[in-house]
Amino acid sequence: MNAARRFVLAGLASAFAAPACAQGFAGLGAAANGFALPDPAGRFDFPSDHGAHDAFRIEWWYLTASLTGADGASYGIQWTLFRTALNPGGGDGWDSPTLWMGHAALTTATAHHVAERLARGGVGQAGVAAVPFQAWIDEWAMTSLAGPADDVLDRLSLTARGRDFGYDLILQATGPVVAHGKDGYSVKSRDGHASHYYSQPFYQVAGRINLPSGPVEVTGQGWLDREWSSQPLSDQQTGWDWLSLVLEDGTRLMGYRMRDTRGDYTSASWILPDGTLEALPEGALVMTPLRTARVADRDIPVDWQIDLPAKGLSITVTPLNDAAWMATTVPYWEGPVFATGTHPGRGYLEMTGY
Amino acid sequence: MIAVVMGTLMSHWRKRPLQLVLLLLGLSLATALWSGVQAINAEARAAYADAAGLLARDRLDRLVGENEAPIAPARFAELRRAGWAVSPVVEGYHAPSGLSLVGIDPLTMPAGATPVGQDDGPGIAAVLAPEGLLIVNPQTADRLKDAELPPLFAVEGLPPMTAIGDIGLVQRLLDQPGLISHLVIDPDAPPGLMALAELAPELDRVSPEGDGDLARLTDSFHLNLTAFGALAFVVGLFIAHAVIGLVFEQRRATLRTLRALGVSMRVMVGMLLVELGLLALVAGIGGVALGYLVAAALLPDVAGSLRGLYGAEVSGTLSLRPGWVLAALGLTLAGTLAAAGIALWQSATMPVLAPAMPRAWARTSAKKLAWQGATGGLLLLLAGVLSLLDVGLVAAFALLASLLVGAALILPLAMSAIVTRFARQKGGPVRQWFWADTAQQVPGLSLALMALLLALVSNIGVGTMVASFRQTFTGWLDQRLASELYLNTRSSAETAAILDWVTPRVDAVLPIWSVSGTLNGLPGEVFGVADHATYRDNWPLLDAVPDVWDRVASGEVALVNEQLARRTDLAVGDQVALPGGSLPVGGIYSDYGNPKPQVLVGLALFDSRFPDVPHLRYGLRIAPEKAAALGQEITARYDLPAGSVIGQADIKAYSLDVFESTFAVTDALNILTLGVATVALFASLLTLAEMRLPQLAPLWALGLTRRRLAGIELVRIVVLAALVLILAIPLGLALAWALVARLNVAAFGWQLPMGLFPGDWLWLAVTALPAAALAALWPALRLARMPPAALLRMFANERG
Amino acid sequence: MLLTIRGLTKIYPTREGPLAVLRGVDLDLDRGESLALVGESGSGKSTLLHLAAGLDAADGGTIILDGADLADMTDSQRAALRRDKVGLIFQQFNLIPSLTAGANIAMQARLAGRNAPDWNDYLARAMGLADLLDRYPEELSGGQQQRVAIARALAARPALVLADEPTGNLDEANADAVLTLMLDLVAEAGAGLLLVTHSPRQAARLGRQVRLVMGRVQT
């Protein structure tokens, strides 16, 4: 899932749109009045579902990648485009109700570079087109390079830059797009809050990152999340801890813990290298904080014990850099992690609401 | 001991409350006029700073279209996608509310450039909300609280009548969907991926203007006000000086006695300083309050002037700035010490044993008078030399200062000479005594007479300048505003439609097309003019080549306004640098009230050089009696906003309004200064009256009634005031000349023909002489009603 | 000894060159003693008195007042000494015009910080001023003004009273009355009195007489 991501979406909505801060983290608990609601019977229709869903309030294109440089060092990058609508009706030009927010980050063992871009729809500064696929804000872009027979997400170029960093990467999928939950209907709370959620977790990544010290050639593995909804959180949920891992045996694990005043809600997807996805029931995944670090004046649990007894998984997750803090309009923690234990691997951790 | 000494010093004021009132009045008035002017200046400067700070104009680079053409809507996204951190701005005038609207995109606007998202500003969400909001300053919010507008959000630090809102909202309000006036560039963002010249060759990158523009343009105006404030301050100090001098003289014996009784010099001088400080504080507080009232009363007119003359928006309401209050109090203290300086020094160095006899406190020795006169003569000479030079604003003010101060210094000597002449003439004994006694009194009254002279001279000088200006300006308006109707449209398409309809219905359609550009290195405007008799017959040319209109029409030569000619030293025949290449100057025309350089070229040439300038303004010639009806018909037929068609009479009325409000301030300050001078005269007379009893008592004893004596005293003052007035007329004319031929040229860039207005002098005499008589009335009445015993005591008790 | 003067000289610059007003005067005065200083106009009587009061500085010689040498003192110290130990009475009365008679009387005592209302009242009664205390000097006759001045000089209980022609502005009857009052009260207060006068009749009423001639004491 990605409850993780929604929080940011939510952030966008609350920061720019409605005074809904009292309702759950970053306003994600706001009622969906006038917007479409996720349909449990709905099925994905590609490539049009790679584009924007204007009937829904919030949506994102969320890419993370764990990388290794030619210099042998570990890196991580994040590229996210959030869409939020102030109201379900349309509007042209500068009166468009659509707002876009881009986040880009580049993490090293000692530094965490962040950039943010804001835009509104209607004037061409930011948007997402399904065919030919491109998601962009300013000069940042995720652009399809796929052949006509392939899924548009199979091959992507990805670029972003901030004041002191940038990257240009090529992403090549080695497996299919996978749907989380029940055919992509992903439940977030016991009250039935949900989203439409699919991923492309099989990217091989190559390209170049630009650090203040100069460019570095990198390779690694990437993971794209796509999710949209109108009211994905319960107003009792205060934040979440979300994890995506590429294990050394080729299996992918996605799991999250929704922190709820009435008791946490967890969910996990177990994805085999051929793209077979097993949605594990609520409570199957156990996430236990092991160590907190002081980041941005907050206590953030950066080391975790992850147990998934159904799969015999018991791992410890540790970040590349404790201080992977996204000091953006809605701040959160997002950074590359390493897993050790029964199933070693690499991936990304996201934590919100701290 | 300190309390005893202080109490003793203060007991003087208790015994003589009138002196206290006069002293406080003098200091308060001095402070009030000066600080009032300062308050006005501070308010205006704050407004300029706000204007410069709006959208961080003083620090952000901008991308602008050529000739201020709007920017193509697609350019914004193209530049953003090429990595340029630009943000769109739309600007326009919203006629229904009178607001200057500034539309911004809060999502891309560089941080801190607008109040959006700042501590005292609205959040982005509120700005982007469907109903939107307009950010204005609190005064504007108050003024527009009943207007039909989006919700207003009040924030300090915005220029008056200016509103910031979301770009979408502002485009809707201006009915200009998609319009982008210019783009600002985030200075902290990295440069784009491609060069701007390749991406958007039609856009120019403009660096910040700095805050100098309005401030510099309006400098001379504020300098004028400051000069008046300083003059009033000096006149006010005359009063304080007169009173303090008297008080110290009267207390001389007391101070000696205190010394004899064992008060050390240090304690005594310290106590005198404390006393002066307390008086200054009280007077300063009064002066600040009064100054605030003066400034609040004058500010609307000043704001009107600045708007009319320079297009500078200054709020008509005054805010109380703590810095201003402290500065005014400090000034009062400094002024008090300056006014008391000599008296204090004399007290401090007074030998305790000097004969403790009162002497005429203000008796100025002939030697001192001569020195003063010589200094005055030198200053007048300096003024004469300066008047021959033509070197800028500072020299012009130096000329004014040396003229005024020189005239004031030389006055007592001149008055003595005149009065002594009269005294030598034969006549009855009373008459002889009258002149002799008057001659004796001139030194004592000299300070008050000097104050009166300054007030009268500035009155005549400024009055003559204003009247000359008014005469010239109205004549010039008649020439310049030759068309009966002026048409302003919103687009070239609208223009074409209106012209099709209107052309057969009028005698002539005269295009008035203009474009901003650099003229001989200065920012200014180029106008295209049609070849038409309207210009040939009316245009106010100061100098021109033969057949100038033919040559303008053929594109051979350009006309430049007087401001440009003076500022860049152009004469007929010189080349003037224009956008698209330079042209010879074919003529120079007067252009009052316009601070900017301006050039006129033939319409054909204008069109070929600036083909893209929208054609929006026209003058329409029609029989005057049909003008109003046609104007209404055009407005109704094409549904034009109010103000799109303006009649000649309306423009004239508006221009004269601006003119009158400009000089309303000057007039007010003039009258106030005259009032202060009258108070100064009153203070001097009152103090002198007391000194004069010993001199008057013998005459009473010789058989002149108290009534008659009082009458003589009254007549004496009116005679002296009349003499001052007579001297003030030539000096006032000299001042007027300096203002017209030097200061105006330096400050505004134009020269006026100077006229003489003897009616005004008569009016001044009718005002000033009764004022002087009024000042003399009370001391005279006191004399008339003085009990004989008091006069008798002069013989019994006189030790002078 | 209350006042000891030795070899006192004072020279004034004049247009015709320096003029020695005092040329080595010796004088002694003790508490309870009264001394009349007589002489022609210009003989230096007033100058001697002013120097003794510390109102001016001597050019030579010493003045020891109650054990203190005036020559060693600053202006402030001399002022303090005058305030605390000397009562001065002038021919011109030198009252403060903006203060009432009562306030004038209390003036020096208040400056010296030892104002005693009872003593002031006694002095005023003794001087016949009891009903005039609220009046301002301009509302008093010359004799009344001088009585206020004497009361002021004595109100601070000075050790030394210096009087310069105190009755010079008064008619003879008034002058005699004022002098009598003054002598009585000085004696009562136990102060020393140095009185400058050109009236032999008044001088005769004091304990001792010293005549100054051309700046020297004539013996």
Q: Which of B164, B198, B200 is nearest to B62 (CA)?
A: B200
Residue with tokens 């523009």: B213
pLDDT at A303: 96
Compute φ and ψ for A342, nearest 5 degrees.
-65, -30
pLDDT digit string, tens, across residues A143-176: 999 988 889 999 999 999 999 999 999 999 999 9
Asked whether at least 3 C-beta pairs link B and C within 8 Å, the reply is yes
How many Å apart are CA B634 and CA B636, to the nearest integer?
A: 5
CB-defined contacts A:B, below 8 A: 66
Residue with tokens 């000057």: B666
Better pLDDT: C172 or B272:
B272
**How many residues does the structure list for chain B?**
800
CB contact under 8 A, B108 and A125: yes
Q: Is B414 part of the contact surface with chain C (CB cutoff 8 Å)?
A: no
pLDDT at A134: 95
C55 closest CB neighbour out of B1, B254, B260: B260
B798 to chain C, minimum CA–CA distance in Å? 12
B242 to chain C, minimum CA–CA distance in Å? 20
How many Å apart are CA A234 and CA A263, to the nearest integer?
A: 12
CB contact under 8 A, A95 and B168: yes
pLDDT at B224: 66
CA atoms within 13 Å, Cβ hemisphere of C82: 27
CA torsion through residues B737, B739, B745, B750, sign: negative
pLDDT digit string, tens, across residues B60-88: 888 888 766 788 888 999 999 999 999 99
pLDDT at B788: 74
- Most confidently predicted of A208-212, B762-766, C181-185: A208-212
Instruction: Find the range with the poorest average confidence among A96-100, B157-161, B279-283, B617-621.
Output: B157-161
- Is the pLDDT reported for residue B356 higher than 80? no
CB contact under 8 A, B265 and C82: no
On whether the CB atoms of residues C209 and C196 are closer than 8 A, the answer is: no
Give, as one character, the DSSP assignment of residue A4. H
pLDDT digit string, tens, across residues C126-152: 888 889 999 988 888 888 888 898 888
Neighbours of chain C (3+ CB pairs under 8 A): B
Both tokens assigned to B747: 């400050």
What residue ranges in B645-724 does DSSP mark as E strands? 645-647
Residues in chain B with CB shorter than 8 Å from the CB of A18 are 125
CB contact under 8 A, B80 and A15: no
B107 closest CB neighbour out of A18, A119, A124: A119
Neighbours of chain B (3+ CB pairs under 8 A): A, C
- Is the pLDDT reported for residue B360 higher than 60? no
On whether the CB atoms of residues B647 and B627 are closer than 8 A, the answer is: yes
- Nearest 5°: the CA angle A185, A190, A191 is 85
Probe site for chain A from B124, B131, B169, B179 (most A CB atoms < 10 A): B124
C98 closest CB neighbour out of B14, B263, B352: B14
Both tokens assigned to B397: 């003010």
Instruction: Find the range with the poorest average confidence among B24-38, B310-324, B493-507, B639-653.
Output: B310-324
- Is the pLDDT reported for residue B343 higher than 80? no
Residues 84-103 of B with CB under 8 A from A: 85
CA torsion through residues B722, B724, B730, B733, sign: negative
Those residues with Cβ within 8 angstroms of residue B203's Cβ, 6 or more apart along the chain or in another chain? B63, B64, B65, B66, B71, B75, B183, B196
Cis status, amide bond into A132, omega within 30 of 0: yes
CA atoms within 13 Å, Cβ hemisphere of C125: 6
On whether the CB atoms of residues A14 and A26 are closer than 8 A, the answer is: yes
Q: Is B117 part of the contact surface with chain A (CB cutoff 8 Å)?
A: no
How many Å apart are CA C182 and CA B131, to the nearest integer?
A: 97
**Chain C residue at shortest CA distance from B355:** C92
Count Cβ neighbours within 10 Å for each residue of A16-25 and write b for 16 or more, e otherwise.
Answer: bbbebeebbb
Give, as one character, the DSSP assignment of residue A282. T
Q: Across residues B581-607, what is the average pLDDT?
A: 85
Residue with tokens 């046609």: B630
pLDDT at A13: 43
Position A220 confidence tier, pLDDT thresholds 50, 70, 90: very high
Q: Is B12 part of the contact surface with chain C (CB cutoff 8 Å)?
A: yes
Q: Across residues B712-722, what is the average pLDDT?
A: 87
**Chain B residue at shortest CA distance from A121:** B77
Please report, for residues B14, B25, B46, B202, B243, the alpha-carbon distance to residue B17 in angstroms, rounded to integers and kept in the order given: 6, 12, 41, 76, 12
- Other beta carbons within 10 Å of B277: 14
How many Å apart are CA A76 and CA A113, to the nearest integer?
A: 10
pLDDT digit string, tens, across residues C185-217: 888 878 889 998 888 888 888 888 888 888 888
C88 closest CB neighbour out of B8, B260, B266: B260
Q: Is B191 part of the contact surface with chain A (CB cutoff 8 Å)?
A: no
pLDDT digit string, tens, across residues B245-278: 778 777 877 888 888 888 888 888 888 899 989 9
Q: Across residues B711-735, what is the average pLDDT?
A: 88
ipTM: 0.89
Better pLDDT: A88 or B595:
A88
Q: Is A119 part of the contact surface with chain B (CB cutoff 8 Å)?
A: yes
How many Å apart are CA A141 and CA A137, to the nearest integer?
A: 7
Residues in chain A with CB shorter than 8 Å from the CB of B77 are 123-125
The pairing of beta strand A277-280 with beta strand A286-295: unpaired
Position A223 confidence tier, pLDDT thresholds 50, 70, 90: very high
Both tokens assigned to B267: 């304690």
How many Å apart are CA A345 and CA A74, to the nearest integer?
A: 13
B125 closest CB neighbour out of A16, A94, A136: A16
Asked whether at least 3 C-beta pairs link B and A within 8 Å, the reply is yes
Position B437 confidence tier, pLDDT thresholds 50, 70, 90: confident
pLDDT digit string, tens, across residues B315-334: 667 777 787 888 888 888 88
- Is the pLDDT reported for residue A25 higher than 60? no
Residue with tokens 């001279």: B457
- Is the pLDDT reported for residue A251 higher than 50? yes
Q: Across residues B507-533, what is the average pLDDT?
A: 83
CA atoms within 13 Å, Cβ hemisphere of A40: 6
Probe site for chain C from B257, B265, B798 (most C CB atoms < 10 A): B257
B260 closest CB neighbour out of C84, C94, C113: C94
- Is the pLDDT reported for residue B361 higher than 60? no
Packing angle between helix B265-310 and helix B212-250, nearest 10 degrees? 150
- Is the pLDDT reported for residue B796 higher than 70? no
Residue with tokens 């007894």: A309
Cis status, amide bond into C117, omega within 30 of 0: no
Better pLDDT: B359 or B758:
B758
Residues 225-244 of A with CB under 8 A from B: none
Q: Across residues B471-493, what is the average pLDDT?
A: 77
pLDDT digit string, tens, across residues B770-791: 888 887 888 788 888 877 777 7
- Is the pLDDT reported for residue A31 higher than 60? no
Cis status, amide bond into A47, omega within 30 of 0: yes
Q: Is A163 part of the contact surface with chain B (CB cutoff 8 Å)?
A: yes
Neighbours of chain A (3+ CB pairs under 8 A): B
Q: What one-character-per-residue DSSP string does A269-281 give?
A: EEE-TTS-EEEEP
Q: Is A89 part of the contact surface with chain B (CB cutoff 8 Å)?
A: no
B193 closest CB neighbour out of A94, A118, A139: A139
The pairing of beta strand B541-544 with beta strand B558-561: unpaired
Q: Is A168 part of the contact surface with chain B (CB cutoff 8 Å)?
A: no
Position A206 confidence tier, pLDDT thresholds 50, 70, 90: very high
Q: Across residues A247-271, what is the average pLDDT?
A: 92
Which helix H or strand E contains B542, and what residues bound it? strand B541-544
Q: Which of B555, B340, B144, B256 is nearest to C56 (CA)?
A: B256
Compute φ and ψ for B188, nearest 5 degrees.
-90, -10
The pairing of beta strand B583-589 with beta strand A74-85: unpaired
Probe site for chain B from A14, A83, A94 (most B CB atoms < 10 A): A94
Probe site for chain B from C92, C96, C136, C150 (most B CB atoms < 10 A): C96
CB contact under 8 A, B82 and A139: yes
**Chain B residue at shortest CA distance from A160:** B83
Better pLDDT: A240 or B540:
A240
CB contact under 8 A, A94 and B129: no
pLDDT digit string, tens, across residues C45-76: 888 888 888 888 888 889 998 888 888 888 88
Instruction: Find the range with the poorest average confidence among A177-186, A234-243, B383-392, B526-535.
Output: B383-392
B257 closest CB neighbour out of C80, C86, C94: C94
CB contact under 8 A, B15 and C98: yes
DSSP β-bridge partners for residue B65: B203
Q: Is A214 part of the contact surface with chain B (CB cutoff 8 Å)?
A: no
How many Å apart are CA A333 and CA A328, to the nearest integer?
A: 10
On whether the CB atoms of residues C123 and C185 are closer than 8 A, the answer is: yes
On whether the CB atoms of residues B319 and B156 are closer than 8 A, the answer is: no
Which amino acid is residue B277, in one-letter code? G
CB contact under 8 A, B125 and A95: no
CB contact under 8 A, A119 and B83: no
SS3 (DSSP) at B293: helix
pLDDT at B615: 79
- The overall average pLDDT reported for chain C is 86
How many Å apart are CA C143 and CA C95, to the nearest integer?
A: 13
DSSP count for chain C of H helices, then E strands = 7, 10
How many Å apart are CA A162 and CA A327, to the nearest integer?
A: 13
B86-94: strand order across its sheet = B152-154, B134-136, B162-166, B99-104, B86-94, B182-185, B61-65, B203-206
CB contact under 8 A, A94 and B124: no
Please report, for residues B547, C43, C62, C71, C214, the alpha-carbon distance to residue C57 in angstroms, rounded to integers and kept in the order given: 92, 18, 10, 7, 19
Q: Is B172 part of the contact surface with chain A (CB cutoff 8 Å)?
A: yes
How many Å apart are CA B465 and CA B754, to the nearest integer?
A: 7
- Is the pLDDT reported for residue A17 higher than 80? no
Q: Is B342 part of the contact surface with chain C (CB cutoff 8 Å)?
A: no
- The overall average pLDDT reported for chain A is 88
On whether the CB atoms of residues B705 and B400 are closer than 8 A, the answer is: no
pLDDT digit string, tens, across residues A297-348: 999 999 999 999 999 999 999 999 999 999 988 899 999 999 999 999 999 9
pLDDT at B366: 66
**Chain B residue at shortest CA distance from A94:** B168
Q: Is A87 part of the contact surface with chain B (CB cutoff 8 Å)?
A: yes
On whether the CB atoms of residues C164 and C153 are closer than 8 A, the answer is: no
Both tokens assigned to B462: 């400024």
Q: Is B358 part of the contact surface with chain C (CB cutoff 8 Å)?
A: no
Radius of gyration of chain A (CA): 18
How many Å apart are CA A226 and CA B206, to the nearest integer?
A: 43
Residues in chain B with CB shorter than 8 Å from the CB of A124 are 74, 76-78, 81
Better pLDDT: B179 or B680:
B179
Compute φ and ψ for C98, nearest 5 degrees.
-90, 0
On whether the CB atoms of residues A64 and A349 are closer than 8 A, the answer is: no
Which amino acid is residue B535, in one-letter code? Y
Which helix H or strand E contains B603, and what residues bound it? helix B603-609
pLDDT at B67: 62
Both tokens assigned to B42: 């501070």
How many Å apart are CA A245 and CA A267, to the nearest integer?
A: 14
